[in-house]
Structure 1
Amino acid sequence: MNKMDFSKLVITIALVLVLFLCMDGSEGVSNSSGSLSVGDINPPFAHHKVNLSVYYDSLCKSCALFIIKDLRDIFDSSLISIVNLRLVPWANAYINNNNNSISCQNGPDECELNSLESCALNLWHKVDIQYELISCFEFLAIEGTINTWKEDCLNQLGLPEKPFLNCFNMGNGTQLGKTYINQTAQLYPSPLSVPWVVVNNQPVGNDYANFAQYVCKAYRGDAVPEVCNSP
């Protein structure tokens, strides 16, 4: 092969490589674009849930009735599918600056139950478990049989005792209570009564029994539960 033929061969190979790279690059772009589908692009607000916060005291009868009866509707009606539910005990408790202890509106028994419920909220992060356990506690509180919480609540729900008792006996529930108290103190406006129900940072005041209407009104997603279409 002479020098001229060799040069032509090199140029030919170079052109083939350039052409191949261009085709490969364009194919990559095509595949990348083709891999996108409507299902890959979330419509605006499609998964935006409404924040529903309930500030309460564990030995407050109106709070207990709201949790046991009214709040259960969010599970029975599938409203929970569009709600981030947050239960916050210790609403009317305060921290004593002199000794850093906590005083509760309804006395030491309420502080103890608040501590139990704080442990429940922080050990189990699934909202349905949190709700069922706290609802059970509140039911026993109304019945005046709260001392049977271990058998009637933990055991009935099939929840392990050891981590729960460790949390309570070590005083972690009370320490968590200080966090809840500080969070409640930062609310604006301050709670005027309990339960204090807040929907997307807006309190509903004394109309808390109709909280579902406020949740439906605040929701901006596409998958609207049937309850929001009810007259």
Structure 2
Amino acid sequence: MLVNKFLTLTLFAAVGLLAANANVQKETKLKFSFYITSQCRDTINFVTRQLHPTYQELKDYLDVEFVPWGKSRRNNGSITCQFGPTDCVANKIQSCVLSILGNDQAKQVDYINCEMSNLSAVQQDYSCAISVGVGADIAKQCFDSTLGDQLQEQAEKKTGTITMVFVPTIVYNDVYSVQVQNAAFANFKQYACSLLKDESPVACG
């Protein structure tokens, strides 16, 4: 009987420790929001050369989200995008695919990296969606429906809560800062590592 009680208490203690560790890991994640637009050269370079490789190394420490709207503007119901109509098309497709991927951030990062590398959505090509497991038919159904419009409205509203002077805009913990923007854009890995100095990830050296 005593042995059984001891084993039970040990099991509960172990479960509690695992839960505590999980909470600590969750709390120590750095939340970054990336306000992007599909055909922006600065966004393309940042995602492909900095964000994507850094995420592969530090994904256990990063909580990321993408907001595909950029400097688009709405006037009397009509949207004008920074790089023209194809920019609007790609932003809407990206909103749809990101929504379909849900909380799978690894696939979201891979998807946006694919889009920025190939600009496939600009041509209404769904190959990048397919590469992360999203069917072209499902993505297109979202794009052609009011859901796609609603997702872009959400991106528009979220972008309206920050100071958008440059694309991509990088926001840490939901608070825009010029200092964070400049440091993260100049060297995203270095900036993330500076916030993780107490965690000492191997990738940060």
Structure 1 and Structure 2 fold alike (TM over 0.5): yes
Decide whether the 8 Å contact of 2:34 with 2:171 is kept in 1. Answer: yes
Query: Equivalent residue for 2:202?
Result: 226
Q: 2:203 is aligned with what amino acid?
A: V
3-state SS, counterpart of residue 24 of structure 2: coil
3-state SS, counterpart of residue 85 of structure 1: strand
Shift of residue 65, structure 1, vs aligned partner: 1.4
Larger radius of gyration: 1
Shift of residue 68, structure 1, vs aligned partner: 1.7
Counterpart CA distance in 1 for 2:96 and 2:170 is 21
Query: Equivalent residue for 1:153?
Result: 128
Q: 2:92 is aligned with what amino acid?
A: S
Query: Equivalent residue for 1:132?
Result: 110
Counterpart CA distance in 2 for 1:139 and 1:191 is 24
Decide whether the 8 Å contact of 2:97 with 2:129 is kept in 1. Answer: no
Counterpart CA distance in 1 for 2:197 and 2:155 is 29
Q: 1:165 is aligned with what amino acid?
A: K
Query: Equivalent residue for 1:40?
Result: 16
- 1:115-165 deviation digits (Å, cap 9, x = unpaired): 010001101121122222222222223xx8942723x42344443122111
Decide whether the 8 Å contact of 2:87 with 2:122 is kept in 1. Answer: no
User: Which 5+ residue runs of structure 1 have no aligned equivalent?
Assistant: 1-28
Counterpart CA distance in 2 for 1:65 and 1:83 is 20
Pick closer, same or farther for the CA change 1:216–1:39 going to 2, 3 Å: farther
1:192 aligned to which of 158, 165, 170: 165
Counterpart CA distance in 2 for 1:221 and 1:205 is 22
Query: Equivalent residue for 1:58?
Result: 38
Counterpart CA distance in 2 for 1:202 and 1:220 is 22
- Percent of paired sites with the same residue: 26
Q: Superposition RMSD on alpha carbons, in Å?
A: 3.0
Counterpart CA distance in 1 for 2:131 and 2:8 is 52
1:212 aligned to which of 178, 186, 189: 189
Query: Equivalent residue for 1:83?
Result: 62
Decide whether the 8 Å contact of 1:45 with 1:221 is kept in 2. Answer: no
Counterpart CA distance in 2 for 1:145 and 1:162 is 14
How many aligned positions are there?
196
Decide whether the 8 Å contact of 1:58 with 1:110 is kept in 2. Answer: yes
Counterpart CA distance in 1 for 2:155 and 2:77 is 15
1:167 aligned to which of 125, 137, 142: 142
3-state SS, counterpart of residue 71 of structure 2: coil
- 1:166-212 deviation digits (Å, cap 9, x = unpaired): 0011143232111111111112xx12211111222354223314122
Pick closer, same or farther for the CA change 1:36–1:116 going to 2, 3 Å: same
Q: 1:73 is aligned with what amino acid?
A: P
Decide whether the 8 Å contact of 1:56 with 1:63 is kept in 2. Answer: yes
Give the TM-score, by structure 2 length.
0.80
Give the TM-score, by structure 1 length.
0.72
3-state SS, counterpart of residue 194 of structure 1: coil
Counterpart CA distance in 2 for 1:202 and 1:213 is 19
Pick closer, same or farther for the CA change 1:154–1:192 going to 2, 3 Å: closer
Shift of residue 86, structure 1, vs aligned partner: 0.6
